Copies of this chain bind each other. A is one copy, B any other.
Amino acid sequence: MIAYEEALKIVLEKTKPLGNEKVFIHQALNRILAEDIHADRDNPPADNSGMDGFAVRHEDIIGASEDNPAALKIIGESKAGDLPPKLEKGAAIPIYTGALIPEGADTIIQKELTKVEGSIVYILKELKKGANIREKGGDYKAGDLLIPKGKRLRPAEIGVLSSVNKATVYVKQIPRVGIITTGDEILDIGENITKESQIRTSNTYSLYTQVLETGAIPTIIGFAKDNPEDIKEKLKWAKNCDVLLTTGGVSVGEYDLVKDFVSKELNVSIHFWKVALKPGKPVAFGTWGEDGEKIFFGIPGNPVASMVVYEILVKPAIKKMMGYQNPENKIFTGILTEDFKRKSADRLEFIRAYVEYKEDNFYVKPFTKQASNMLTSMLNANALVLVDIDIHQIEAGEKVRFIFFDREI
């Protein structure tokens, strides 16, 4: 049995990022950029107005004030996208935000500081020369590196991609994640219950949507009964996946079945089985494929253990494959609102909790029902609190470390 930290280290060492692919930029949201993005031209591409108002020659408005306005003749217009007329002495050209600065103009007076009467505009305040002009290349110059490879693409990055004329972009590939649910007693949705002992799956679809939330491609390989033929067949169907998750069949009594078959059928090398972790102790991890580039997790069948193991071991691995530079869960600190006690303290425990942010702090309410078969205990939880080995008790008011498992915190 190894420590969780050691297990996570092995997982992240053995897991390699996938290759690159080209996608349309709207599909690139939350993908990891695989090429450097450079500017195709200066931005702004030319000097332009930062305001709606009037383009003037600074020499014509020196000393202008409300009591002593400068009177200028209105000529022409400069709208965004148009080529403006030339500005003569003693004149002003109406101009809109983003429009080109007319030849001869050197200052923009915003509309609010002017008064129009017929074909005359009164300038009510002298602004300094160059006011309200946005300079060509002021944001960036052609050739500048705008987004370095390795960045996750958010709406701001997608906007920049379109502004430099990228319709498609190289990003890291995302893994296909196969899910095999094992167990004679497990039924899919819609199947008839014929024995009291049968259980309808929850893990298949919580894992499926956990994979979706991570941004990878879930594939339900199916439900395997606890017999060699069925397991063999389902493993065969998993061959084109990058990640294989099995749920169930990894506790003391059953583990050998899954372990033997993944080793035999898919040539998986198991790197660890059993982690000093609660819930999720009997988790197995291995690599397979031609160069060990594919990964395998044998996930315990308990619904809570399944969700927790996904969050703390599988998700970091999948994010590593997707090219994330920091695939680990972020750890926050909060204040425990109720005492927490446990009898056995030989494992790192992830306690379900509800975290609320108020008065500048995270407040952490631990749940009292912690049995790992109680999926309902996950319903109101939005975080997992880390309770270290040898810690039997944490009192209300003490600081605790936690990770979020809800995308909306």
Contact = CB atoms under 8 A, between A and B. Distances in A.
Interface string A185-209: 1100110010111111111111111
Contact of A159 (B183, B205, B357): B205
A167 to B, nearest CB: 5
A79 interface: yes
A290 B66 CA distance: 48
A162 B184 contact: no
Given A98-B185, A183-B80, A253-B96, A157 B379 contact: yes
Interface in A327-382: 330, 332-333, 357, 360, 371, 373-376, 378-379, 381
Contact of A373 (B44, B206, B376): B44
A155 B206 contact: yes
A100 interface: yes
A210 interface: yes
A156 B190 contact: no
A271 interface: no
A118 interface: no
A65 interface: no
Nearest to A144: B376
Nearest to A159: B206
A126 interface: no
Nearest to A95: B253
B374 A26 contact: no
B152 A197 contact: no
Interface string A153-165: 0111111111111
B206 A158 contact: yes
A267 interface: no
A360 B100 CA distance: 49
A50 B253 CA distance: 13
A205 B184 CA distance: 49
Given A81-B226, A156-B206, A156-B378, 6 more contacts: A26-B212, A80-B184, A81-B184, A146-B376, A160-B202, A163-B202
13 contacts: A29-B209, A29-B212, A46-B196, A94-B253, A96-B254, A98-B185, A111-B253, A139-B373, A147-B379, A156-B379, A162-B205, A163-B303, A167-B189
Interface of A: 25-26, 29-30, 41, 43-46, 48, 50, 52, 79-83, 94, 96-100, 111, 134, 138-140, 146-147, 152, 154-167, 183-186, 189-190, 193, 195-210, 212-213, 226, 251-254, 301-303, 307, 330, 332-333, 357, 360, 371, 373-376, 378-379, 381, 399, 406-409
